[in-house]
Amino acid sequence: MLNMILLLFLIPGFFFVLRFLSKTSFLHILLNHFQSLEDRLHVYQSYRVPQFDHLFQENELYCKVSTYLNSLPSLEDSDFTNLFTGSKSNDIVLRLDIDQTIRDVSSEPESRGPSRNLKRMGPGQRKKEVKLCMNVDTPSAENGRWRLVQFNHPASFDTIVMDIDLKNRLKSDLETFLKSKQFYHRLGRVWKRSYLLHGPLGTGKSSFVAAMARFLNFDVYDIDLSKVKGDSDLKMLLLQTTNKSMIVVEDLDRFLMEKCRGVTLSGILNFMDGIISCCGEKRVMVFTMNKKDQVDEAVLRPGRIDVHVHFPLCDFSSFKNLANNYLGVKEHKLFPQLEEIFQGGASLTPAEIGEIMISNRSSPTRALKSVIMAMQNSGSTKSRRPSCDEEPVRNPEERVGIKGGCLVGIIRLEIFGNYMDF
């Protein structure tokens, strides 16, 4: 009788212990230790997939392996992992941490074999994400002279205020470049394209660079020439860039006018189209300037700069696009007065007008009145671009982006030795 009573207590107690263990991490830890012991008894090989090769070029296999690892179902069952926001604000993406190990077991019953332990040794990504790379003074073992951050600039070709014809021609030029690998190789040319964006401060050059990066889905290497020690250092920075990337040098004219600088003019010219520039392909180089007429012609010659894009001050046509984007206003009773002021020679940069509209976005009328007041107070036409009557004479087919009789964009395309001015 006593044994029966004891048995009645032991059975529920046994089930209680099992339930407790199943609801805690003890059983999970025990299974992990058993699996670790089993793995140690197996013979296996270790493979390391570096992110960069000995020439500092990106290893394409690394991206593929990283994508595979981040897609494994076992990532969700791992002890820990990283959480990131996805492409949408309510999406959560799981990412492997550095030195984190996960298990990959074949899901086919007939081919089931020993599991594979996979460890991520460096940063990986589920899909291609644009990175912004900035040169630093102190190199690191992982990324050399570059510091990498995620590139989240919201600018796109849809948000850029530019003549629609000019914008479409630039997009078409980029698309053609991406498909021209065999064409460049057949001509014996390096597969790269160089753009010069020039115009006054605040006219949207940097935003256009961001829009290009998003359109191409290329990583951006932003080179600060003031941190470059010399010509050889500039070459090493170029060697450490990857294929399918944008290399950006901003305010090149200002740097060239400085008396004390580490990089010489010869070093910059070799950086643009010297022998060192062939170490990599499918690259886009972008240079920005405020005034290109003060720069040595050797910098601007064809082959070093393929496409010239002028960013002028705001005219009335561009202003209407800004009002539509910032204020949601397509027509307004103050537009005739604004058009008259623009025709009178007054103008502001798109950045100045945009800031006024942002500050007064709750009241479109107040925003337009503030723009009128700012333009009247500026009272200066010395920085305004020439009118069409002042432009050099060109053939009719050499113009693009003509709005209301005024040229709002100039682009020069180099077709391998022949020039086409639009």
pLDDT attached to residue 91: 65
Tell me which DSSP letter residue 176 carries.
Answer: H
Short-list 216, 209, 142, 137, CA closest to 174: 216
- Provide mean pLDDT across the span 319-333: 90
Q: How confident is the model at residue 98 (pLDDT cuts 50, 70, 90)?
A: low
In this prediction, residue 107 carries a pLDDT of 44
Domain ranges of the chain: 46-107+114-128, 131-312+410-421, 316-384
Predicted confidence at residue 109, as pLDDT, reads: 41
Residue 386: its pLDDT value, please? 42
Q: What is the pLDDT of residues 216-258, one digit of tens each?
A: 999 999 999 988 989 999 998 998 888 999 999 999 999 988 8
One-letter amino acid for residue 20 of the chain: F
Residue 325 backbone phi and psi in degrees, to 5: -70, -45
User: How many whole angstroms separate alpha carbon 160 and alpha carbon 174?
Assistant: 16
Residue 43 has pLDDT above 90, yes or no: no
Other Cβ atoms less than 10 A from the Cβ of 281: the count is 15
The answer to whether the beta carbons of residues 306 and 194 sit under 8 Å apart is: yes
Region of residue 56 (left: phi > 0; alpha: psi -120 to 50; beta: else): left
In terms of pLDDT, which residue wins out, 395 or 273? 273
**What does the pLDDT read at residue 398?**
33
Angle 72-77-81 (CA atoms, 0-180°, nearest 5)? 80
Higher per-residue confidence, 142 vs 340: 340
Cite the beta strand spans of 160-235 per DSSP E: 192-198, 219-222
Give the per-residue pLDDT at 218: 93
The mean pLDDT of 8-19, rounded to a whole number, is: 70
Identify the pLDDT of residue 12.
Answer: 73
| 387 against 188, higher pLDDT | 188
Q: Using one digit for the tens of pLDDT, what is the confidence trace for 136-175?
A: 877 766 667 888 888 888 888 988 888 889 999 999 999 9
The answer to whether 248 and 146 have CB atoms below 8 angstroms apart is: no
* The predicted structure's pLDDT at residue 145: 80
Residue 121: pLDDT band (50, 70, 90) is: very low
Residue 403: pLDDT band by 50, 70, 90 thresholds? very low
- The pLDDT of residue 105 is 55
The model carries a pTM of 0.64
Mean pLDDT of 324-346: 90
Residue 124 has what pLDDT? Answer: 39
Question: 23: buried, middle or exposed (CB in 10 Å: 19+, 13-18, 0-12)?
Answer: exposed
Among 136, 199, 174, residue whose Cα is nearest residue 285: 174
* Closest listed residue to residue 102, CA positions, set 80, 132, 127, 126: 80
Model confidence at 409, in pLDDT bands (50, 70, 90)?
A: very low
Question: In this structure, are residues 183 and 131 in contact, taking their beta carbons and an 8 Å threshold?
Answer: no
The Cα 384–Cα 408 span in angstroms is 12
What is the predicted pLDDT for the residue at 274? Answer: 86
pLDDT at 152: 87
Looking at residue 366, what DSSP letter applies?
H
Cα angle 394, 398, 404 (rounded to 5 degrees) comes to: 85
In the predicted structure, residue 390 carries a pLDDT above the cut 60: no
- Is there a contact between 263 and 301 (Cβ–Cβ < 8 Å)? no
CA distance 27 to 102: 18
pLDDT single digits (tens) 170-205: 999 999 999 999 999 999 998 999 999 999 998 999
pLDDT classification of 206: cutoffs 50, 70, 90:
very high
Split at pLDDT 50, 70, 90, the class of 39 is low
Q: What is the mean pLDDT of residues 111-140?
A: 60
Average pLDDT, the chain: 76
Fold of 131-312+410-421: Rossmann fold (3.40.50)
- 3 state DSSP class of 298: helix
Tens-digit pLDDT profile for residues 259-274: 767 899 999 999 998 8
